[in-house]
A = this chain, B = another copy of it.
Amino acid sequence: MKKQITISEIANELKLSKTAISFVLNGKGREMGISEQTQKKILQHLEHINYIPNVSARGLRTGKTKTIAMMVEDISDPFFSSIARVVEEIAYTKGYKILFSSTENDSQRARDLIQVFRRRQVDGYIIAPPPCIEPEISELLDDGLAVVLFDRTLPTLKVDNVLVDNFQSSYNGIKHLINNGYENIAMISLISEQIQMVERHRGYQTVMDEVNKQYIIKSVVYHDAVADNISILQNFFIENSHIDAVFFTTNYLAESGLEAIRNLNLRIPDDLGVIVFDDDKLFRLFTPSITAIAQPISEISTQAVKLILMSLTNKGFKTTAQNVLLKTALQIRESSQPRKNTHE
């Protein structure tokens, strides 16, 4: 095990003080009146020996770890992993590293994770919050930690967040189905009080109200066995044979739903139009391709990192919570093509 080179050793070698090395190392040479000559000497030596500072020591002294925790529902979900990818990349350029973790949308898990992150003294948190986590988030804020929520928010808290317009997106999606001649549109969703889901529901309901149609809603429990969901949805489709289109409120549900549809040998879009909230790289390659409401992954990530870095640097200048609201893009594909039989 090779011993790490320390600042003291460098100081000895160069016949200078630790202080001088540290100043130069942190770019405070000029400010602290270290001569150009000495600075150059130190920098060259640091470069030459490929000095690697000890972050634990630095963290201990400064209280900062240059680490951001990112808590999402499921890091293996393509929506979240894509965001993670971009967030990691941007944060890296600013000297931050990201600790990712999956909450499974379970508040107890999330609480445990926050506890772990606190031990590790992460500087900031980017969170897609599960329900009932307000007290813990609130505590983070009280303790002056940087927090940014995304994908969903906690309306009772004053906290930065970056969201998409779930209501409008959902509204536009359903409207698109209506415009294409679909009449009996079902919504498959999760049993959830979370704001993003509520808004998506509201988008659906608003359109249905506008066109004077009955809601046809099936909600399932999050993270029940996939097989269970498939059969539940199959039964739902069988019992509601008048449905001519279906709106899945998340990509996770679409997976089960598309399988149910396939098992029943229903043809898309002739028997059933389909639209999904959240796009997937492969949806455009389906036969027929699947219409989806695509969230702006890259922009969500960029904004989240931007906000967290602002909080991190502007410590204390916290005036008011920032709310970033982004637009989605309706990717119109074959699964929602204009309905033929009703027009013939």
- Judged by a CB distance under 8 angstroms, whether A100 is at the interface is yes
Question: CA of A81 to CA of B88 in the docked complex: distance in angstroms?
Answer: 13
Chain B residues contacting A143 (CB-CB under 8 Å) are: 1-2
- Judged by a CB distance under 8 angstroms, whether A287 is at the interface is yes
Spot the interface stretch: A17-25, A56-64, A168-176, A210-218.
Answer: A56-64
28 example contacts (A-B, Cβ-Cβ < 8 A) are as follows A1-B144, A2-B143, A2-B144, A52-B115, A52-B118, A52-B119, A54-B60, A55-B120, A56-B56, A56-B57, A56-B60, A60-B60, A75-B84, A75-B88, A76-B82, A78-B78, A81-B81, A97-B99, A97-B101, A97-B120, A98-B100, A99-B99, A255-B282, A255-B285, A262-B285, A262-B287, A282-B286, A287-B287
- Judged by a CB distance under 8 angstroms, whether A53 is at the interface is yes
| Chain A, range 86-118, C-beta contacts under 8 Å to B | 88-89, 92, 97-102, 115-116, 118
- Judged by a CB distance under 8 angstroms, whether A199 is at the interface is no
Chain B residues contacting A258 (CB-CB under 8 Å) are: 285
**Chain A interface residues (CB < 8 Å from chain B):** 1-2, 52-60, 65, 74-78, 81-82, 84-85, 88-89, 92, 97-102, 115-116, 118-121, 142-144, 255, 258-259, 262, 280-288
Question: CA of A99 to CA of B55 in the docked complex: distance in angstroms?
Answer: 15
In the complex, the answer to whether A142 meets B2 with C-beta atoms within 8 Å is yes
Question: CA of A76 to CA of B119 in the docked complex: distance in angstroms?
Answer: 28
Of chain B, the residue at the smallest CB distance from A77 is B81
Question: How distant is A25 from chain B, measured CB to nearest CB, in Å?
Answer: 12
Question: CA of A120 to CA of B119 in the docked complex: distance in angstroms?
Answer: 16
Question: CA of A198 to CA of B181 in the docked complex: distance in angstroms?
Answer: 52
In the complex, the answer to whether A85 meets B78 with C-beta atoms within 8 Å is no
Question: CA of A2 to CA of B81 in the docked complex: distance in angstroms?
Answer: 33
Of chain B, the residue at the smallest CB distance from A57 is B60
Chain B residues contacting A2 (CB-CB under 8 Å) are: 142-144
Chain B residues contacting A89 (CB-CB under 8 Å) are: 102
Of chain B, the residue at the smallest CB distance from A261 is B285
The answer to whether residues A55 and B119 also contact, given A78-B81, A81-B78, A82-B76 and a CB cut-off of 8 A, is yes
Of chain B, the residue at the smallest CB distance from A74 is B85
